Amino acid sequence: MIKVIRPLFAFILFLCVILIALAASWLIISINSLPNVIADDTLVAGVDVSGLDYDQALEKVDAKLSEEVSDYRLTIKDSNTNIETLNLDDYISYDSKTAVQDALSQSFAHSGLVRAQLVIDKQFGTYVPEHSEFEVPFNFSTPDIKNTLEELAETSKKDPVDAKRTIEGDSVKIEPGQDGQELDVDKALEDFNAIMQKFEQEKLPDQKDFFIELEYKTSPAQISADSFGRVITVNLSKHKLYLFEGEEIIKTYTIGSGMPGYETPTGLLKITAKRKNPVWINPAPDGWGKNSPEKLGPGPDSPLGLRALNLNRPAIRIHGVSDMSRLGVSRSHGCINMANNDVVELFDLVEVDTPVNVHY
């Protein structure tokens, strides 16, 4: 009986050895025949590259990333006008090759036992893939927009223009001034750097369109239209004095002017002094005033009346008179005569340095 069992046991042992050898051979062949592809459940830059070889995975990842970066734009705006638009994909680069190669390398970096277990698990349906994700590194270069902004600053710069007043005859014209403007390059670069930092922090932001709204610094004109004071014009032909506020006449008075030989001087004069209840000093004691006193005190009957406005010509004034027959005619020794009540009113309406344009 023992003699029969021993050969049978040897035969069974032989069969086991043969089966083990066959299984080992099958396992080795299966391991060696595993395709050179990326493991299941592997993502590169969020793209599923499971079961793909290097070229296939790289093409798929590049297609997605190329589409993602192609829509990024930076627009430089001036109010509602788009001045320049940059496609930012020209300044975004990424290393997808290294990420795909790392994914492929990891898929074949396991030991022989692990690879054998993979074959067995797949054979018996118990394979559960290990989830892996690989990020693609991005690099952002900064567009050189400083020169663009400086060129814009140069072409858009406006120097301030002072308001201008022209006095001709009985006409006053005011050309309004204009504030200057200059592009705030520093502010624009600050906004631009903030956008670039967004890319550095978020890699590929959800926002696709970025804008730099240009701002300008204002340089006000030194002389504005409302800085001009009042103006007096004196029409010797009409014997009229006009007081202007801006370009409009606000008061009209009848005046008297210089007689022949003592003509009232013409031209653009100005008030140099305001005298209330002035004392009259005889300006020509050896001439036309030789029969008059050296001086006369203030009062309505004074030759200067109740008020006098000295002009920048020797002994020439706008002053009051009580004799109404001296108005509307040329009977003075060069001064401009006004009724006392009129000159009192004018006195309070004008200041020293008020222009006085005297003409015919």
Active site residues: 319, 335
3-state secondary structure the chain: CHHHHHHHHHHHHHHHHHHHHHHHHHHHHHHHCCCCCCCCCEEECCEECCCCCHHHHHHHHHHHHHHHHHCCEEEEEECCEEEEEEEHHHHEEECHHHHHHHHHHHHCCCCHHHHHHHHHHHHHCCCCCCCEEECCCEEECCCCCHHHHHHHHHHHCECCECCEEEEECCEEEEECCECEEEECHHHHHHHHHHHHHHHHHHCCCCCCEEEEECCEEEECCCCCHHHCCCEEEEECCCCEEEEEECCEEEEEEECEEECCCCCCCCEEEEEEEEEECCCEECCCCCCCCCCCCCEECCCCCCCCCCEEEEECCCCCEEEEECCHHHCCCEEECCCEEEEHHHHHHHHHHCCCCCEEEEEC
